[in-house]
Amino acid sequence: MPALACCVDAAVMPPSYALAWEGSLPASAAVPVSLISGAPPPPSAVDAGSHWSPSHSSSLYKVDGWGAPYFVVNSSGNISVRPHGRSTMSHQEIDLLKIVKKVSDPKSSGGLGLQLPLIVRLPDVLKNRLESLQSAFEFAIQTQGYEAHYQGVYPVKCNQDRFVVEDIVRFGSSFRFGLEAGSKPELLLAMSCLCKGNPEALLVCNGFKDAEYISLALLSRKMALNTVIVLEQEEELDLVIDISKKLSVRPVVGVRAKLRTKHSGHFGSTSGEKGKFGLNTFQILRVVKKLKEAGMLDCFQLLHFHIGSQIPSTSLLTDSVSEAAQIYCELVRLGANMQVIDIGGGLGIDYDGSKSAESDISVSYSLEEYSTAVVQSIRYICDRRNVKHPVLCSESGRAIVSHHSVLIFEAVSASVPAAPDMGSLGLQSFLEALTEDARADYRNLEAAAMGGEFETCLFYADQLKQRCVEQFKDGSLGIEQLAAVDGLCELVSKVIGSSDPVRTYHVNLSLFTSIPDFWGIGQLFPIVPIHRLEERPGVRGILSDLTCDSDGKIDKFIGGDSSLPLHELEGSGGGRGRYLLGMFLGGAYEEALGGVHNLFGGPSVVRVSQSDGPHSFAVTRATPGPSCGDVLRVMQHEPELMFETLKHRAEEYCGGGGGSSSGVDTDDDDHGMATNNNHNHNMNNNSALASSLARSFHNMPYLVVPSSCSLMANGGGGFYYCNEDDYNAVVDSSSGGEDEQWSYCCA
């Protein structure tokens, strides 16, 4: 008799298929698929005996594609950082797992005691990206015979973190690298940072502007900063002319041109003649006329354009740059004192390693090919028009900062399909509760199983399940019987190999806070386990975050996959029990766009530099993530007042009463001693409660897995619990300094 028939035939039901609500499917329930002649193997089946190595994982996760030249899978099966790119020597590689261990280990054992999720910033990678961009343009300028230089700017909107911006100004000072601002706060931080930068570095002022914005920009010129006000709207020019006269400042003005050239991808939707920003040719001519009438045409020195991020190919880049170069040459002809052409952003990065021009998350060129296309196009147009070569500027924020930041988070549990199975007695009871139509479906299912007709089995199993659901809804079937049919149908699907093998991995992360572009625009990022890559991943999974939102999941991955190869979770506690994943290339935009959905704040952040120490790195800055109190303040709550309210409530309802409640008379001395003991006990209880409440406000919103807690998985519903002794120790403790490490548990 076929094994599938054994699953549905009451007469020959093996004893091991007894109804077991407490347990999962016994080992024998997983065997029948190999006994069914002609049955397809489950999609998740793997050859456990075949060899697997870190190089296989590197290929599987495409690390050599999107990760080059900064990320590799090392011989230990961990992701390593090559902080200096291709110039990194083997002893300079940094193992990400060692960083996590250093950062998350308790202070008592030499760690920093920070909680995950974690952003690891790598300033050496940032420096290498900046230098690589500069070198690519310098090489193109030299080889193309271009007669001006390149000096880029970093658009601070990509990542406004103080240390990121300060690093860029410091690293780029030797080659006049500047900043771009798009709002008044960004302008203020750019002004402050560039006070320590190269005096020739550009400060490009983009975005919509009011009188205050323009006044700030003009003030920065008085402070000897090389500031350029780029007009996004024609009306802004009137303010520039008026305020510059009042402040007695000679401005430097540019315009953002709306080019006809645009690309069709998501990131090109705001470009073209109908784009959000910039001036068309008619408006540009009016700007020239107004400046000439005001005697300020010499102030017009820069042309800016932007056709969208992630420009997919150099052919499209060449079209846009050539169009802009023609406008530049026309402005020179009209008498403007043109000096700079700012090609904006658009230098893309290869998120999936495919090097494809047909994808929103990839590009088909290198840094060198990009810079060569720009230099060649502008030189060609200017030479034809007999116009002096302009200084080249770009706003390549995504390409500069994306690689320098890694988001690391932990999978805390995983769903494991588990269904009850039935013995002959349980099956008999189940059949007696069914309608005649449902019993007929069961008999047809049994006959199909005997004949090895797998598609027919699935049809009758589904029909049986639907009939039972209707019975349950009208009250004629109990929950035990409904669970039994669920188990039977799941078992049939599993044996045939048609059940969904994809699991859900629950991760200690907020998608909306840390990866908002995935939710908002469908942006894909490389997500990879940062360790255990010497092992073959045995399952496929999607990632579900902590938020109470159905959108809080990642179910699309680079390469077009709807699931990610993952490893089985291993127990709890210890480094081996943790399962750590990294999201890469997310250094641009994600931190600035992240919100506080469900009041989950940002991750902890560490700054890690390459060093000659034993582990090749040094943590130079470490910042815990926002606490519960911090994120409450963002939404206008007052944690201090909330704490006082809860503290008084706890003392009222949880503090306990004084005096003897035994009903037994005692002498005065005994009564006084008992009263003092009760009073001290109540004070200790109140102190412990207050300490617990205070720590709840001071801790991060994310789940904490203290060493005394265990992680349980019960049918996929992972939860944290503390054992009773640990819980009592917390409640009974009278000490509670606010600087102590304290972990809370949540169900």
Phi-psi sector, 38: left (phi>0), alpha (psi -120 to 50), beta: left
SS3 label, residue 99: helix
d(CA 135, CA 141): 10
The strands making up 391-393's β-sheet, listed across from edge to edge, are 153-155, 178-181, 202-205, 226-231, 253-256, 300-304, 340-342, 391-393
Classify residue 295 by burial, with Cβ atoms within 10 Å: 0-12, 13-18, 19+. exposed
Q: Could you give the maximum distance between any two Cα atoms of the chain, in Å?
A: 112
- Tell me the pairing of strands 564-566 and 579-583: unpaired
For this structure, is 468 an active site residue?
Answer: no
Tokens of 322: 């050539």
Q: How many CB atoms lie within 10 A of CB 737?
A: 8
Amino acid 214 reads I
Question: Which parts of 497-596 fold into alpha helices (H)?
Answer: 511-514, 516-521, 574-577, 590-593
Rg (CA), the chain: 33
Q: How many CB atoms lie within 10 A of CB 174?
A: 10
Tokens of 274: 């109908």
SS3 label, residue 300: strand
Find all residues with CB under 8 Å of 675, minimum gap 6, and list them.
Answer: 658, 659, 660
Q: How many CB atoms lie within 10 A of CB 681?
A: 15
Catalytically annotated residue among 7, 299, 489, 548? 548
Are 393 and 204 a contacting pair, CB within 8 Å? yes
Classify residue 445 by burial, with Cβ atoms within 10 Å: 0-12, 13-18, 19+. buried
CA nearest neighbour of 616 among 132, 80, 213: 80
User: Residue 547: CA atoms inside 13 Å, Cβ hemisphere, count?
Assistant: 23
Q: Which residues are catalytic?
A: 548
